Amino acid sequence: MSSKQSGKAKPSKAPNSEKKNYDETDKAFLAKKKEDEKALKELKLRHDNHVLAFQIGD
């Protein structure tokens, strides 16, 4: 009475996602978005360092 499927069944694999085809406007938008995120990250880092330096100076 033993069966090959004992215990929980494994979930089926999700199909591979297809590569997206971007046109030039999409590529430009994504590049600009990436640059903006990088600039924001640097600005936050600079701000945190400035606040830390100001607090230590008190």
* Domain extent listing, the chain: 24-58
Q: How far apart are CA 5 and CA 1, in angstroms?
A: 12
Question: 2-55: per-residue pLDDT in tens?
Answer: 556 667 777 788 777 788 888 999 999 999 999 999 999 999 988 887 766 666
Say yes or no to pLDDT of 56 above 70.
no
| Residue-level pLDDT at 31 | 96
pTM of the model: 0.51
Q: Is the pLDDT of residue 57 over 60?
A: no
24/41 Cα distance (integer angstroms): 26
Q: How many CB atoms lie within 10 A of CB 18?
A: 6
Model pLDDT, residue 22: 86
Q: What's the pLDDT at 14?
A: 79
